[in-house]
Structure 1
Amino acid sequence: MSRSSRLLSVIASRAKGSSYALDDRIELPDLARISAERGLMRARAMAAFGERGRTAFVGSRATIRSRRNIHLGRSVTFGPGSLVDALSTDGVWLGDNVSIGRNTRIECTGSLKSLGHGIRVADNVGLGTDCFYGCAGGITIGRDTIIGNFVSFHSENHNTQRLDTPIREQGVSHQGITIGRDCWIGAKATILDGVELGDGCVVAAGSVLTAGHYPSFGIYGGVPAKLLKQRRPEGGQGD
């Protein structure tokens, strides 16, 4: 590993609070570009959050609203073009090493008639690129979970019981969404209000999870999603 790679690996490890080694095949011009980009992202974070943003990174064209309602862990990244609107009762809580992908939107309130709840994201979570998180009913995501691209969360439902009133005038209901720790949610999955996904689960790409409890260590897929099989340790029986 080159001296430059070693130096950047040390800096990244300190920022993340854990060991992080860059691939030694990354050439010096790319290392210089990456370093310059991260420096600019750090400067934007300081401009957005002041001292609170000293370990954060904010990409170009990122939009951050109601910043006082955003609680930052260490080494949080707001990707280029991302939008975080934290106007809500509980705010946006982002743990250590959380990454909000390029063009991903986090919107905490669907209507100014009633503030939404917000979102809590634990440590070491990747929120994917081009994703949507509608947090009006509240979203909780456990640590070490990874979320693919173009995934959408919708923690709100429109009421439809009355036939004499337009749906848009019947109001909404909320149950909230809970995602366990160490889950993998594949690209273009849709997570609807009322979902409780257990720890260690895998959600297949393009699946739709409807309201209900999904037990831990399951692999779920389909529309609507169903249990495909249980994860089991290699050579073992599992739980």
Structure 2
Amino acid sequence: YEIDVDIPLIYLLLFILGKIFSGVYGMISLRSLYPIYRNRNTLIKCKSKIYFGRNVQISRGCIIDGLSHEGIHFGNNVSIGLNTTILCSGSLKSIGKGIRIGNNVGLGTNGFYGGAGGVEIGDDTIFGNFVSIHPENHNYDNDIIPIRQQGVNHKGIRIGNNCWIGAKATILDGTILGDGCIVAAGAVVTGIFPGNSIVGGVPAKIIKTRI
């Protein structure tokens, strides 16, 4: 950590104590040999399907449910913001594929990350607050049968390395973002975008490139 010189000493001491307690609690509750920083006010379900790298940090109010075919894989140095939900399956009838998160990834607060159709997130990618990811779509072609009874379809979502996803962005099924992409705040993203694209809007389009 790099510490700002203006941080009060008592704040810094409480921060360090909190890290120690959450690290010990995470190691014991998740049966890990190396630190996983888990706050007590979190819910983790289907632990046998969740694979943690080193130095994963889980903030207060998070819900992580690993029920899926391939589970949830966290890389090293992943931070999960306050009140974030990671949910791989929407029903027991047909469980989802799973989620794979690379190293040095930051998930902002109040996010929703679905994994029904499969999600891959590359290394060094950061997410703003209130981001949602939905790798699943409802079928609706039949106008006689209720939509809720027509099932779903999946294409999956892939987000490359070194991307920045702005606050309140929505990533929809079938999206592929190449390495180095930036998604503007509030964008609704669907489609395939080459590396180093800056995209924004509803629906999102390429605004410019970083190169």
Counterpart among 17, 26, 49 of residue 36 in structure 1: 17
Secondary structure of the equivalent of 2:32? Answer: helix
Counterpart among 42, 53, 65 of residue 45 in structure 2: 65
What is the match of residue 231 of structure 1? 210
The higher radius of gyration belongs to: 1
Measured after TM superposition, the shift of residue 192 of structure 1 is: 0.3
Between 55-64 and 186-195, the greater mean CA deviation after superposition: 55-64
Equivalent-residue separation in structure 2 for 1:117 and 1:163 (angstroms): 28
What is the match of residue 8 of structure 1? none
Secondary structure of the equivalent of 1:216? Answer: coil
Equivalent-residue separation in structure 2 for 1:142 and 1:157 (angstroms): 23
Q: Which residues in structure 2 correspond to 1:141-180 (within 5 Å)?
A: 141-180=121-160
Secondary structure of the equivalent of 2:120? Answer: strand
Is 1:87 matched up with 2:64?
Answer: no
CA deviation digits over 1:7-50, x for unaligned, max 9?
xxxxxxxxxxxxx3222322210111101111221122023211
The one-letter code matched in structure 2 to 1:159 is N
CA deviation digits over 1:65-92, x for unaligned, max 9?
1111111111001111001000110001
TM-score, normalisation: structure 2: 0.97
The one-letter code matched in structure 1 to 2:71 is G
Secondary structure of the equivalent of 1:43? Answer: helix
Gaps of 5+ in 1: 1-19, 233-239
Equivalent-residue separation in structure 2 for 1:161 and 1:22 (angstroms): 56
Counterpart among 204, 215, 221 of residue 200 in structure 2: 221
Number of aligned positions between the proteins: 211
Equivalent-residue separation in structure 1 for 2:43 and 2:24 (angstroms): 15
Secondary structure of the equivalent of 2:86? Answer: strand
Q: Select the structure that is richer in helix.
A: 1
The one-letter code matched in structure 1 to 2:203 is P
Is 1:208 matched up with 2:197?
Answer: no
Equivalent-residue separation in structure 1 for 2:201 and 2:179 (angstroms): 19
CA deviation digits over 1:173-230, x for unaligned, max 9?
00000000000000000000000001101000000002x2111101000000000001
What is the match of residue 17 of structure 1? none
Equivalent-residue separation in structure 2 for 1:58 and 1:183 (angstroms): 25
Secondary structure of the equivalent of 2:107? Answer: coil
TM-score, normalisation: structure 1: 0.86
Gaps of 5+ in 2: none
Percentage of pairs with the same residue = 51
Equivalent-residue separation in structure 2 for 1:48 and 1:89 (angstroms): 23
The one-letter code matched in structure 2 to 1:228 is I
Equivalent-residue separation in structure 2 for 1:107 and 1:142 (angstroms): 19
Measured after TM superposition, the shift of residue 51 of structure 1 is: 2.8
Equivalent-residue separation in structure 1 for 2:110 and 2:40 (angstroms): 15
Superposed CA RMSD: 1.0
